[in-house]
Structure 1
Amino acid sequence: MQHTPDLGKNALGKPDPWARFRGLAWWQLVLSLLPILLLPVGGAIGGAIGGAGLIANLALARKPFGTPVKVPAMLGVVLASYLGYLLVVGLLYNMLEG
């Protein structure tokens, strides 16, 4: 019986911060990382919303759905992240300027 390595740990036994990204297809990585692009645009608000979108897309990428289901679902998370950011920023702008 072959021993499979634990992808959650590195060689020193410490948690591997990149374990969630390992084993994904290139398109899953791209769609997972698209929401985090809100960070340089939106600062803390964009980073929080983008981080939530990143985690949601990583969870979707690991689900046992087929590609025709995963792609629109992950694109929906990306779209929801950007629209959510615009909504929050618009509300804050109206509260501060209104």
Structure 2
Amino acid sequence: MKQIPDLGKNTLDKPDPWAKFRGLTWWQLVLSIAPILLLPIGGAIGGAIGGAGLFANLSLARKQLRTPPKVLAMLGVALGSYLGYALVAGLLYNLIKG
């Protein structure tokens, strides 16, 4: 009998780009993705700050913390990303417009 290949496996031995998101609950996914929403708002600067916030939240989501502190920490990272973008954008605006 002929073996049917498992299409769920990566046959090219490439790393799974979605591996960091697998196994998270819905609220962890939402809070992890929240900072990257700066990308359409802030372009490259927003994307860089949002990407850093995304990876920080993914790291927090994998830590062995109870749920309330984890939620507060992830919300803090998301809020810090938005505030950091506002600060950087404001400073660049003042430097350019003088």
Common fold, TM-score beyond 0.5? yes
CA distance in 2, matches of 1:18, 1:49: 20
Q: What is aligned with 1:52?
A: 52
How far residue 68 of structure 1 moved from its aligned partner, in angstroms, is 1.0
Identity in percent: 74
1:52-91 matches, within 5 Å, as 52-91=52-91
How far residue 18 of structure 1 moved from its aligned partner, in angstroms, is 0.1
Gaps of 5+ in 1: 1-9
Alignment size in residue pairs: 89
Q: What is aligned with 1:38?
A: 38
Gaps of 5+ in 2: 1-8
SS of 2:44's equivalent in the other structure is helix
CA distance in 2, matches of 1:69, 1:86: 25
The structure 1 segments of at least 4 consecutive aligned residues displaced by more than 4 Å after TM superposition are none
Deviations along 1:39-68, whole A, 9 cap, x unmatched?
000000000000000000000000000101
Computing the radius of gyration over CA atoms, which structure comes out larger, 1 or 2?
2
CA distance in 2, matches of 1:44, 1:18: 22
CA distance in 2, matches of 1:32, 1:66: 17
TM-score by length of 1: 0.89
How far residue 14 of structure 1 moved from its aligned partner, in angstroms, is 1.2
